[in-house]
Amino acid sequence: MKKILSLFMLWQCIAITSFASTDDIGLYVNDIILDWSGGGGTKDVVNNSLTSNQSAINYWDIHDLSTDIYEKLEISFAQVVDYDNINITITYSDGSTIETKILRGTSSHEVNFDARKTLVKISISHGWDGPSGAVTLYFNSIIIRAKNSTGNIGFMPVGSPKLGKDVANPLLDFHFIADPTAIEYDGRLYVYGTNDHQQYEAGTPTNSYEAINSLVVISTDDMVNWTYHGLIDTKSVAPWISASWAPSIISKVQADGSTLFSLYFSNSGIGSGVIQSKSPLGPWTSPLNTNLTDGFDPGAVVDDNGDAWLAYGGGVGKIVKLGDDLHSIVAGPVLPPAPYHFEANELNFINGTYVYTYNNDWSDHSPWIHGGEKPSACSMVYFTSKTPLDEDSWNYGANYFRNTGENGMNYGNNHTHLHKYQGKWYLFYQANNLEASIGSTGGFRSIYVDEIEVDEDNVVIRECTPSFKGVRAIKNLDPYTPQYAATAAATLGIVHEQADGEGHMVVKIGTPSTKAPIPSEGVIEVRNVEFSGADNTLKCLVKGNGSIALRIDSKDGEDITTITSLDENWTEQTAVCNSVLNGVHTIYFILSGDVLFDKWVLSNETPSDIEEVQSLDTPKNTGDLYNLKGQLIHKPAKGIYVSNGKKYIISDK
DSSP string, 384-395: EESSTT-GGG-E
The whole-number pLDDT of residue 609 equals: 47
Average pLDDT, stretch 537-542?
Answer: 96
Backbone angles phi, psi at 205, to 5 degrees: -65, -25
pLDDT per position as a tens digit, 68-104: 999 999 999 999 999 999 999 999 999 999 999 999 9
Pick left, alpha or beta for residue 373 (phi over 0 → left; psi -120 to 50 → alpha; otherwise beta): beta
Residues 6+ apart with CB under 8 A from 17: none
490 and 595 in a single domain? The answer is: yes
**pLDDT > 80? residue 611:** no
The average pLDDT across 27-34 equals: 91
Q: Are 200 and 206 in contact (CB under 8 A)?
A: no
**380 plus 454 within the same structural domain:** yes
State whether 239 and 147 are in the same domain: no
Domain match, 260 and 395 both:
yes
Q: Does residue 156 contact residue 516 with C-beta atoms inside 8 Å?
A: yes
First-to-last alpha carbon distance for the chain, in angstroms, is 73
What is the C-alpha to C-alpha distance for residues 346 and 84, in angstroms, rounded to an integer?
A: 52
CA distance 535 to 548: 19
The reported pLDDT for the residue numbered 534 is 83
Residue by residue, DSSP assigns 124-161 as: EE--TTS-SS-EEEEEEEEEEEETT--S-EEPPPP--S
In a domain, 471, yes or no: no
For residues 595 and 603, what is the distance between their CA atoms, to the nearest angstrom?
Answer: 22
Residue 645: pLDDT above 80? no
Domain contains 476: no
Residues 226, 182 contacting (CB under 8 angstroms): no
Q: How far apart are CA 119 and CA 70, in angstroms?
A: 9
Task: Report the half-sphere exposure of 616 (CA within 13 A, side-chain side).
Answer: 12
As a whole number of angstroms, the distance between CA 376 and CA 399 comes to 8
pLDDT band at 614 (very low <50, low <70, confident <90, very high): very low
The answer to whether the CB of 315 falls within 8 A of the CB of 296 is: no
Q: Specify the amino acid at residue 651.
A: S
Do 391 and 426 belong together in one domain?
Answer: yes
Q: Are 327 and 289 in contact (CB under 8 A)?
A: no
Q: What percent of the chain has pLDDT over 90?
A: 81
Q: Which domain holds residue 423?
A: 178-461
* Contact between residue 282 and residue 257 where contact means Cβ atoms under 8 Å apart: no
Instruction: Give the residue from 187, 226, 181 showing the smallest Cα distance to 503.
Output: 226
Provide mean pLDDT across the span 122-126: 96
What CATH number should be reported for the domain holding residue 95? 2.60.120.260
At residue 22 the predicted structure's pLDDT band, cuts being 50, 70 and 90, is confident
Q: Residue 648: is its pLDDT beyond 90? A: no
DSSP readout, 542-588?
EEEEEEEEEEES-TTS--SEEEEEEEEEEEEEEEE-SS--EEEEEEE
Last residue of a domain, one of 592, 607, 622: 607
Residue at 185: amino acid letter: Y
Task: Indicate the pLDDT class of residue 38, thresholds 50, 70 and 90.
Answer: confident
Q: Tell whether 296 is covered by a domain.
A: yes
Coil, strand or helix: which one is 459? coil
Specify whether the CB–CB gap between 169 and 469 falls below 8 A: yes
Tell whether the model's pLDDT for residue 9 goes beyond 50: no
Residues in the chain: 653
pLDDT number for residue 612: 43
**Nearest of 377, 440, 381 to residue 411 by alpha carbon:** 377
The band of 581, judged by pLDDT with boundaries at 50, 70 and 90, is confident
Closest CA to 512 of 33, 32, 157: 157
**What pLDDT, on the 0 to 100 scale, is given for residue 622?**
56
Residue range 138-161, pLDDT digits in tens: 999 999 999 999 999 988 889 999
Return mean pLDDT, the chain.
91
CA distance 647 to 73: 50
Beta strands 272-277 and 259-266 are antiparallel
CA distance 549 to 575: 10
Distance CA 348, CA 300 (A): 8
Between these two residues, 606 and 573, which has the higher pLDDT value?
573
Give yes or no: residues 512 and 501 share one domain: yes
Residue 171 domain flag: no
d(CA 652, CA 320): 78
At 279, which CATH number? 2.115.10.20
pLDDT tens-place string over residues 411-459: 899 999 999 999 999 999 999 999 989 989 899 999 999 999 999 999 9
Report strand pairing: 49-52 vs 108-112.
unpaired
The pLDDT of residue 477 is above 90: yes
Given a cut of 70, is residue 215 above it in pLDDT?
yes
Name the band, by pLDDT with cuts 50, 70 and 90, for residue 535: confident
Amino acid at 642: V
Assess whether pLDDT exceeds 50 at residue 618: no
| C-alpha angle 538-542-546 in degrees, rounded to nearest 5 | 95
Q: CA 436 → CA 64, 153, 446, distances in Å?
A: 11, 18, 12
Q: What is the mean pLDDT of residues 604-614?
A: 53
The Cα angle at residue 239 between residues 234 and 240, in degrees rounded to 5: 115
Residues 58 and 131 in one domain: yes
| Closest residue by Cα to residue 127 from 40, 60, 32, 57 | 57
Other beta carbons within 10 Å of 637: 10
Q: 474 lies in a domain?
A: no
Same domain for 282 and 183?
yes
Closest CA to 458 of 538, 350, 531, 377: 350
Q: What is the count of structural domains for the chain?
A: 4
Residue range 362-400, pLDDT digits in tens? 999 999 999 999 999 999 999 999 999 999 999 999 999
Distance CA(90)–CA(97), nearest Å, equals 5
Q: Which residues contact 412 (CB under 8 A, 6 or more apart)?
A: 403, 404, 405, 430, 431, 432, 443, 445
- The Cα 509–Cα 523 span in angstroms is 8
Would residue 434 count as lying in a domain?
yes
Amino acid making up residue 598: D
Give, in order, the Cα–Cα distances in Å from 201 to each of 324, 504, 547, 609: 39, 22, 29, 45
The answer to whether residue 628 scores a pLDDT higher than 60 is: no
Residues 261 and 150 in one domain: no
329-346 tens-digit pLDDT: 999 999 999 999 999 999
What's the predicted TM-score (pTM) here? 0.88
Assign 585 a pLDDT band (cuts: 50, 70, 90). very high
Q: Transcribe 607-630 into DSSP letters.
A: PTTEEEEE--SS-TT--SEE-TTS
Q: Between 4 and 409, where is the model more confident?
A: 409
Does residue 445 share a domain with residue 516?
Answer: no
- Write out pLDDT tens, residues 483-527: 999 999 999 999 999 999 999 999 999 999 998 889 999 999 999
The answer to whether 487 and 224 have CB atoms below 8 angstroms apart is no
Q: Is residue 478 part of a domain?
A: no
- pLDDT, position 4: 35
Q: Are residues 381 and 345 in the same domain?
A: yes
In a domain? residue 549: yes
Q: Are residues 554 and 564 in the same domain?
A: yes
The Cα–Cα gap between 302 and 259 comes to 13
Cα dist. 564→46, 153, 402, 603 in Å?
48, 33, 50, 18
* Exposure on the CB side of residue 294, measured as CA atoms within 13 A: 5
Instruction: Give Cβ neighbours of residue 16 (< 8 Å, ≥ 6 apart).
Output: 515, 517
Look at residue 615 and tell me whether its pLDDT is greater than 70: no
Taking every pair of C-alpha atoms in the chain, what is the biggest distance, in angstroms?
91
